[in-house]
Structure 1
Amino acid sequence: MNGIGEGIGAAIEGGLLSRAVEPVHGEASGAPHAPSECANCGATVTGHYCGQCGQKAHVHRSLAAIAHDIMHGVLHLDGKLWNTLPLLAFKPGQLTRRFIEGERAKFVSPMALFLFSVFAMFAVFQMVGISVSDDLTQGWANYGDKADQSVFRDNIREQITTLEQERDRLSKADPRRAEIADELKGLEMVLDGNPMVLTEGEDVTFSATGIETLDKGIIAKWKKNPGLMLYKLQSNGYKFSWLLIPLSIPFVWLLFAWKRRFKAYDHAVFVTYSLAFMSLLFIAVSILGTVPGGGGWAFALFAIAAPLHLYKQLKNAYGLTRFSALWRFFILLGCILVVQLLFLQALLVLGAF
């Protein structure tokens, strides 16, 4: 139940953020109102909004209107959204190109849609249980605080003792001694954040990377309390999800570096709309996966929809031939893996602070 509450909160937070970056132009629907006087400033109104102060021509005074304002302002359910979602799902390249060429008022902007979809995705993850549970986090935290009393560590110590006794019975020329040294090294790494590896005649301090800043900073914190760090990794995942945009743009730019008619702004719109769709796709897959027997359908949906959508958006947004779109598509798949690794590394670093 706590996950559901956090999920709803995350969805509302995403809606408010998307609302903050989305212009209100183009949200009117229905026929224009007859000429009337603005209730706010007294100017003559001939359309949906007052030309002087911007207030709506028709002023509601009902509880239903309050509910509509909540849905409209928080969840962003308006005419622009319904104009945008069908194109985003089935004609993403057309949506991208039309927005780039100036059709802004009728569509939800890429950043607003991205913010809402990402927060909604993490909200759904919370609701369906795809998150770090409180029990797991608490258990790992307790492990970090009471490690000396844990059965697990006692078992590791017993294994170390057994290996040391076996090593002492062997001659110095026995090759088994080298194998035991490697096993002891691994066990010490599990047992201690700064393990000692026994070698012939001396103790050697083990360092995970050899870089003091990493070993004593980020890595030490992950070893000390992995539960807390994993929770921070998850929470930073959606807070810093916008990093995916600047990380992705250079790779898309490289695919069109010799085509000067495509600017960085074009690539930014392409990337942001694509990420928004993928977030919405993850929502659909997560919900479908909770249905009995829906795991296979969820996998099939993602395996088909994700690459097909990326190909169609790439081909139609940039007006490419099939061959030009295909070779860029396959290169872009590799770039996506690189971006994911860079994003994960950034989250690992951010989680240490």
Structure 2
Amino acid sequence: MKKSQETCKNCENDFEQGYNFCPHCGQKSNDELTVSVLFYNTISNYFSVDARFFKSFIPLMFKPGYLAKRFVEGKRLLYLHPAQMYLFISVVFFFLFSFISRDQVKTVNNALKKGEIPVVIHDSLKTQVIDSLKNVTTADYVLKDDFSFNQRTVDSLIAIDAPEEDIYTAMGMDSDAGFFKRRLYTQILKFYEQRNGGSILQVFYDSIPIAMFFLLPIFAFILKLLYYRKASFSYHLVFSLYFFAFIFMAFSFLVLVDLIWKPQSRLNTLVLILIFIYFYLAVLKFYNQGKLKSLFKSIVAAFSFILMVIPAAVVVMFMVAFFFY
């Protein structure tokens, strides 16, 4: 007698009833969508926080290079995947860091508000403002290379809801300004109107994950140049993912300490030194070269990171703030 068939909701292939999972794609055959299923799938699939994380955490923190070495040797299921480890720890770090960044944003805003110049323009003065501005020549605009300008003129235009083009002109922008220059004046005006430097600072903080997206493969490429005969680029990327996960874990510790007790700057310096020592030991373990050669390449990689990669990340953060603030 032919057994009853059922159709998988995911891959739409038929299979015999009685299977708990689809033999074609692996989805659960009776996977009714409930709130608990929704959030369980989100956490388990996106973060994959399971026993492998706790099994991987101690080696990550106290056995430099061990996880990366084991992963490239083929131990792919015993420990947490490097991308999952990096993702989960980075999310934890940015969650903790949000408490500090929020306070810093408030501090910046309060500092700017103390220097705010109040301007009150009554309806009866609007005509006088417009007439006076008509007689202002280009020489009267005082926008210089440091982007200073006649604040009272600009404040008056803002108070009467003048067109933005008129305000840009009062700030010194040429009528034939290109896209980037016009965008720059737009951002300056937005900052000036809001007196809200904290929002710009928040944009920079929010752009850090995007900058890290570019920074991490660049760091792996530096390792590839230093060890171009050792392995393919993917091997260096595995090493970088685990190493950056360790960095985020160390910075998470600093954030926790800062939230509980304001430490001296010596603690930050100590953590940076420990990160370099960790990096050297990880390089020594993963690439299996001599101590002096590993130390030399670790120093070269560290200086390359500081002198090239970090400035590149800052440029990315600036571009994100420039276009999306």
1:5-54 Cα deviation digits (max 9, x unpaired)? xxxxxxxxxxxxxxxxxxxxxxxxxxxxxxxxxxx9645x9xxx998886
Residue 228 of structure 1 and its aligned partner are, at CA, apart by: 3.1
Whole-Å separation in 1 of the counterparts to 2:150 and 2:297 = 44
Match of 1:327 among 288, 293, 296: 296
- Alignment counterpart, residue 84 of structure 2, candidates 92, 108, 112: 112
CA contact (8 A) 1:94 1:316 kept: yes
CA contact (8 A) 1:118 1:241 kept: no
Q: Do the aligned residues in 2 keep the contact of 1:41 with 1:53 (CA within 8 Å)?
A: no
Residue in 1 that maps onto 2:50: 78
Indicate the RMSD between aligned Cα atoms, in angstroms.
4.3
Task: List aligned pairs for 1:266-281, cutoff 5 A.
Answer: 266-281=235-250
CA 1:79/1:140 → structure 2, altered by over 3 Å: closer, same or farther? Answer: same
TM-score w.r.t. the length of structure 1 is 0.59
Q: Contact between 1:289 and 1:295, CA under 8 Å: does it hold in 2?
A: no
Matched, 1:93 2:59: no
- Aligned match of 2:280 in 299, 307, 311? 311
Q: Is the 8 Å Cα contact of residues 110 and 269 (structure 1) preserved in structure 2?
A: yes
Residue range with higher mean Cα deviation, 284-293 or 311-320? 284-293
2:290 and 2:145 map into 1 onto residues whose CA distance is: 57
| Structure 2 CA distance for aligned equivalents of residues 70 and 349 of structure 1 | 32
- What is the alpha-carbon distance in structure 2 between the residues aligned to residue 243 and residue 222 of structure 1? 27
Describe the shift of the 1:227–1:130 C-alpha distance in structure 2 as closer, same or farther (beyond 3 A): closer
Letter of the 1:345 counterpart: V
User: Which ranges of structure 1 fall in alignment gaps of 5 or more residues?
Assistant: 1-39, 57-64, 151-184, 195-204
Is residue 228 of structure 1 aligned with residue 199 of structure 2?
yes
Change (3 A) 1:55 1:301: farther
Deviation of 1:321 after TM superposition, in Å, equals 0.9
Query: Which string of whole-angstrom CA distances, capped at 9 and with x for unpartnered residues, describes residues 157-210 of structure 1?
Result: xxxxxxxxxxxxxxxxxxxxxxxxxxxx9997263399xxxxxxxxxx999xxx
2:313 maps to amino acid: F
Q: For 2:49, what is the secondary structure of its paired residue? A: coil
Instruction: Classify 1:41/1:106 alpha carbon distance in 2 versus 1 (closer, same or farther; 3 Å).
Output: farther
What is the distance in 2 between the residues matched to 1:101 and 1:193?
66
1:193 touches 1:223 (CA, 8 Å); kept in 2?
no
Match of 1:352 in 2: 322
Flag as ranges the 4+ runs of structure 1 deviating above 3 A: 40-43, 49-56, 65-77, 130-144, 146-150, 185-188, 211-216, 290-298
Partner of 1:217: 183
Write the mapping of 1:235-246 to structure 2, written as runs, cut at 5 A: 235-246=206-217
* 1:17 alignment counterpart: none
How far apart, CA to CA, are the structure 2 residues paired with 1:74 and 1:310? 28
Distance in 2 (alpha carbons) for counterparts of 1:223 and 1:272 = 40
Contact 2:143–2:172 (CA under 8 A) maintained in structure 1: no
Cα distance in 1 for partners of 2:105, 2:262 equals 27
Q: How far apart are residue 55 of structure 1 and its match?
A: 8.1
1:78 counterpart letter in structure 2: D
Offset, 1:239:
4.3
Residue 123, structure 1, aligned to residue 95, structure 2: yes
- The secondary structure found in structure 2 opposite 1:92 is coil
Instruction: Decide whether the 8 Å contact of 1:132 with 1:230 is kept in 2.
Output: no
Given candidates 256, 261, 267, the residue that maps to 1:287 is 256
Tell me if the contact between 2:279 and 2:298 (Cα under 8 Å) persists in the aligned partners. Answer: yes
